[in-house]
Amino acid sequence: MRIKDVRPQSFVKQIRCDRCERLSELGEKEFEEFVSVDHKAGYASVFGDGNQVQIDLCQHCVKELLGQWLRVVADEKAAALPND
């Protein structure tokens, strides 16, 4: 017989941009547009062997900092939808 129980699970409630400090809460549209990097550096990395590299950036900072190098590709499915 299996006896089940419920465990509390942590979740991200808010995100603050590490650059401009813009704060967004779960459920807001801006929250979904944050870009988060969580990367473990490898051997001979400029960040140090095995170090964790982390950053959270709002969409505005991503565009300002990386915009000239980003490849933005239109969503083919959305473009195919009829306009009412």
Q: How far is Cα 16 from Cα 23, in angstroms, rounded to an integer?
A: 4
Residue pLDDT, tens place only, 14-55: 999 999 999 999 999 999 999 999 999 999 999 999 999 999
- 58: tokens are 């709002």
The residue ranges of every structural domain in the chain are 14-70
First-to-last C-alpha distance (Å) of the chain: 54
The larger pLDDT score, comparing residue 52 to residue 82, is at 52
| Nearby residues of 11 by Cβ (< 8 Å), 6 or more positions away | 26
